[in-house]
Structure 1
Amino acid sequence: MSPSEPVIRPRRRDDVPHLARALLEQQRASGYPHRDPLPYSAEQFILRPGTTAAWVAEVDGLPVGHVAISRPGDPTSLADGDAAVVRAWMDAHRRPHDELGEVAIFFTASSARGSGAGTALLATAVAALRERDLAPCLDVVPTSTGAMRLYRRTGWQEVGRVRPSWLSEDAPDVIAMVLPDGSAGAGS
């Protein structure tokens, strides 16, 4: 029996333990989050400060994916590598940092791969950013090949490679990406 269609809904506090297990379970295959082990709990990673809104993909009553949106900081107050990511986004969109919105904390459980959950979550995040008149941005470690395929397939464009402060020494540079105006961002 195949799983039901994913339902996208706002994240609830009681989703977090399920999401934490899914995050850690899929980490080995996806490479996300890059740091393994995480320097803090999976729950803290999911409930990151600065999140503006968050959603889950639910299949058959269980959360199987997550996405959040946040606002990038002012590059003048960030560490060099973190500022470089924001500047790449600003340059690409030709907008100040306070008009940017970031897709963040985006993952699906291995069991949800191919179900459409990731595409639906990404579309939800992009729509929420567009509703707030924020220019969509994200960063991704290039070893996250599944995410890279999804982003490229849905119109995201690479605008730079940078080394944010959180990146480990053995990791390749992070790819800064933007979704140009008029691009749907998922499902197209």
Structure 2
Amino acid sequence: MESVIIRPFTDDDLAGAAAALVEVHDTDGYPVEGVNDPEAWIKSEDVLAAWVAEGGGRIVGHVAVMKPQGEAAVNLWVKQSDDDADHVGVLARLFVVQSARKQAAGRRLMEAAVSHARTHGLRLVLDVMVKDASAIRLYERLGWRKIGDTIHHFGSGETIPAVCYVSPTA
């Protein structure tokens, strides 16, 4: 694969990002929700900013910074810090197709999101399902700190264990 570039998401990227999401779901089972209508899941009204990874003429990855919506990670961080929810963003919708993973697309997408958050006075949090061990390794390698455990609820009453993280300080 050619080198991957990271750039801000535009509406023209929606179909390609949705196709990449479905591909990642097929290989990794991530996300557990959103694949029935991937375009709506990617282009949620709660997205503050988003980026894509592009390589070989197609979208191979995506990440978003989202407004808090009562997530466990937000609540844990607000309780553990002096931050209020207005100064917290949620890193979400991070996915990279398998063929682009050896090119640091995930790390570079996360760096774009963290840089944006710092510029806008936000501390980022996320939750990750325990089953997604490679994602957990990436977050920890990049200095994200575990702040607690939670249960991720999805579908019609389904649950899966998850871990909450906060981004490193500048």
Q: Please, what TM-score do these two structures have when normalized by structure 2?
A: 0.90
Q: How many corresponding residue pairs? A: 170
Structure 2 residues not aligned, in runs of 5+:
none
Indicate the residue corresponding to 1:185 in structure 2: none
Q: Determine if the alignment matches structure 1 residue 142 to structure 2 residue 130.
A: yes
Q: 1:113 aligns with which of 94, 101, 105?
A: 101
Give the Å deviation of 1:39: 7.0
- Paired with 2:133 and 2:114, the residues of 1 have a C-alpha distance of 20
Would the aligned equivalents of 1:93 and 1:178 in 2 still touch at CA under 8 Å? no
1:64-79 pair list within 5 angstroms: 64-73=60-69, 78=70
1:90-109 pair list within 5 angstroms: 90-109=78-97
What is the one-letter code of the residue matched to 1:48?
A: S
What is the one-letter code of the residue matched to 1:150?
A: L
Indicate the residue corresponding to 2:161 in structure 1: 173
Q: Which moved more, 1:112-121 or 1:88-97?
A: 88-97
Q: Which moved more, 1:8-17 or 1:89-98?
A: 89-98
- Paired with 2:50 and 2:166, the residues of 1 have a C-alpha distance of 19
Q: Determine if the alignment matches structure 1 residue 89 to structure 2 residue 89.
A: no
1:114-165 per-residue CA deviation (whole Å, 9 max, x = no partner) reads 1111111000000000110111111111111221110011111111112344
Q: Determine if the alignment matches structure 1 residue 56 to structure 2 residue 52.
A: yes
* Aligned-partner SS, 1:125: helix
1:87-109 per-residue CA deviation (whole Å, 9 max, x = no partner) reads 11213343111111111111011
Q: Determine if the alignment matches structure 1 residue 133 to structure 2 residue 110.
A: no
Would the aligned equivalents of 1:119 and 1:150 in 2 still touch at CA under 8 Å? yes
1:17-36 pair list within 5 angstroms: 17-35=15-33
Give the Å deviation of 1:30: 2.5
Percent of aligned pairs with the same amino acid: 34
What is the one-letter code of the residue matched to 1:148?
A: I
Would the aligned equivalents of 1:136 and 1:178 in 2 still touch at CA under 8 Å? yes
- Paired with 1:166 and 1:94, the residues of 2 have a C-alpha distance of 30
Decide whether aligned partners of structure 1 residues 170 and 70 sit closer, same or farther in structure 2, where only a CA change above 3 A counts: closer
What is the one-letter code of the residue matched to 1:159?
A: I
- Paired with 2:29 and 2:141, the residues of 1 have a C-alpha distance of 19
Would the aligned equivalents of 1:93 and 1:135 in 2 still touch at CA under 8 Å? no
Would the aligned equivalents of 2:126 and 2:166 in 1 still touch at CA under 8 Å? yes
- Paired with 1:114 and 1:161, the residues of 2 have a C-alpha distance of 29
* Aligned-partner SS, 2:165: strand
